[in-house]
A and B are shown apart, each in its own frame.
Chain A
Amino acid sequence: MLEIKNIWKTFNANTVNEKVALKGVSLTLNDGEFVTVIGGNGAGKSTLMNAVAGVYPVDRGSITINGADVTDLPEHKRAPYIGRVFQDPMMGTAASMQIEENLALAARRGQTRGLKAGITKMEREEYRELLKILDLGLEERMTSKVGLLSGGQRQALTLLMATLRKPKLLLLDEHTAALDPKTAAKVLDTTERIVQKDKLTTLMITHNMKDAIVHGDRLIMMYDGRVAIDVSGQEKKKLTVETLLEMFNKVSGSDEADDKLLLS
Chain B
Amino acid sequence: MSGFLNALPGAVSQGLIWGIMAIGVYITYKILDIADLTVDGSLCTGGAVFVMLFTNGINLWAAMLAALLAGMLAGLVTGLLHTVCGIPAILSGILTQLALYSINMAIMGMKATVAININQEGVLDKLLVSLRFVQGSKGGFPFYRHPIFVVGIFTAGLIAVLYWFFGRELGAALRATGSNPNMARAQGINTDFCKVLGLMLSNGLVALCGALLCQYSSANEIKVGQGAIVIGLAAVIIGEVLLGKVFRNFALKLLSVSIGAILYYVVLQAVLQMGLDANYLKLLSAIVVAVFLTIPNWKGKYFGKSSRKEAAENA
| Chain A residues within CB distance 8 Å of chain B | 53, 75-77, 79-80, 82, 84, 86, 90-97, 101, 104-106, 108-111, 113-119, 161
Residues of A within 8 A of B175 (CB): 94, 96-97, 101
Residues of B within 8 A of A101 (CB): 172, 175
CB distance from A256 to the nearest CB of B (A): 35
User: Closest A-chain residue to B177, C-beta based?
Assistant: A94
Given contacts A92-B183, A93-B180, A95-B180, contact A118 B167 (CB under 8 A): yes
Residues of B within 8 A of A119 (CB): 172
The complex places the Cα of A86 from the Cα of B187 at a distance, in Å, of 13
Of B165, B167, B182, B184, the residue contacting A86 (CB under 8 A) is B182
Q: How large is the interface on B (under 10, 10 to 19, 20 to 34, 35 or more residues)?
A: 20 to 34
Indicate with 1 or 0, residue by residue over B164-194, a CB within 8 angstroms of chain A CB atoms: 0101111111011011101111111111000
Given contacts A92-B183, A94-B179, A94-B180, contact A77 B188 (CB under 8 A): yes
Contact at A96–B179, with CB atoms within 8 Å? Answer: yes
Q: List 30 A-B residue pairs with CB atoms under 8 Å apart, sorted by A's residue number.
A: A76-B185, A76-B188, A79-B187, A79-B188, A90-B180, A91-B183, A93-B180, A93-B183, A94-B176, A94-B180, A94-B183, A94-B184, A95-B179, A96-B175, A96-B178, A97-B172, A97-B175, A105-B187, A109-B188, A111-B188, A113-B189, A114-B169, A114-B170, A115-B165, A115-B168, A116-B169, A117-B169, A118-B168, A118-B171, A161-B187
Of B167, B176, B179, B183, the residue contacting A117 (CB under 8 A) is B167
Residues of A within 8 A of B169 (CB): 108, 113-118
CB distance from A102 to the nearest CB of B (A): 8
Given contacts A94-B176, A95-B179, contact A109 B167 (CB under 8 A): no
Of B173, B186, B189, B191, the residue contacting A53 (CB under 8 A) is B186
Residues of A within 8 A of B173 (CB): 105, 113
Residues of B within 8 A of A106 (CB): 187
Main secondary structure of the interface of A (DSSP, over half): loop
User: Closest B-chain residue to A111, C-beta based?
Assistant: B188
Residues of B within 8 A of A95 (CB): 179-180
The complex places the Cα of A118 from the Cα of B176 at a distance, in Å, of 12
Contact at A105–B172, with CB atoms within 8 Å? Answer: yes
The complex places the Cα of A104 from the Cα of B173 at a distance, in Å, of 10
Q: Give me 10 other A-B pairs in contact (C-beta within 8 A), A91-B180, A113-B173 excluded.
A: A76-B189, A97-B179, A104-B172, A108-B169, A109-B186, A113-B170, A113-B172, A114-B169, A116-B169, A118-B169
CB distance from A167 to the nearest CB of B (A): 11
CB distance from A74 to the nearest CB of B (A): 8
CB distance from A8 to the nearest CB of B (A): 23
Contact at B191–A76, with CB atoms within 8 Å? Answer: yes
The complex places the Cα of A250 from the Cα of B169 at a distance, in Å, of 53
The complex places the Cα of A77 from the Cα of B186 at a distance, in Å, of 9
The complex places the Cα of A109 from the Cα of B188 at a distance, in Å, of 5
The complex places the Cα of A46 from the Cα of B175 at a distance, in Å, of 28
